[in-house]
Amino acid sequence: MSYTAKIKVTLRQSILDVQGKAVEHALKNLGYKTVESARIGKYIEVTINEKELLQAERICNEICQKLLSNPVMENYSFELEQVN
């Protein structure tokens, strides 16, 4: 049994997101007057071969902290989905 971790890594609010700003301006230029802001993050899928949900969760937290995000400027969140 394994789990697919659907991980989102986003820049902290205090960090200027220049890509998001460029997209926000492009959307406004397209005439979407109600668009207020856009922020860009990363979406990562990782399949983890573990039987126990808790163990998969533990590994997912560990890889997010160690490699997938930089805690100085990013936050992460994830959902785990069971696959067979």
Partner 1 sequence: MADVTVGVVVFPGSNCDHDTEYAVGSFPGIKPVMLWHNDHDLQGAKAIILPGGFSYGDYLRAGSIARFSPIMQEVIDFARKGFPVLGICNGFQVLLESGLLEGALSRNRDKKFLCCQTTLKAVNCSTIFTNRYQQDEVLSIPIAHGEGNYFAPPEVINALQEHDQIVFQYCDATGRVTDEANPNGSLQNIAGIVNRQGNVLGLMPHPERASEMRLGSLDGRKLFESLFSHIAGV
54 by DSSP, 3-state: which?
helix
Minimum distance, C-beta of residue 39 to partner 1, in the bound complex (Å)? 13
Of 13-21, 31-39, 49-57, 75-83: span binding partner 1 (CB under 8 A): 13-21
* Under rule CB under 8 A, residue 26 binds partner 1: no
Residue with tokens 């696959």, as numbered in its chain: 83
Question: What is the Cβ-side half-sphere exposure of residue 75, based on CA atoms within 13 angstroms?
Answer: 9
Binding test (CB under 8 A) with partner 1, winner from 31, 34, 67, 84: 67
Residue 84's CB: how many other CB atoms inside 10 A?
Answer: 4
Binding test (CB under 8 A) with partner 1, winner from 1, 2, 18, 83: 18
Binding test (CB under 8 A) with partner 1, winner from 1, 15, 53, 83: 15
Pairing of strands 42-48, 74-83: unpaired
Instruction: Report yes or no: 74 and 7 within 8 Å, Cβ to Cβ.
Output: no
Minimum distance, C-beta of residue 16 to partner 1, in the bound complex (Å)? 6
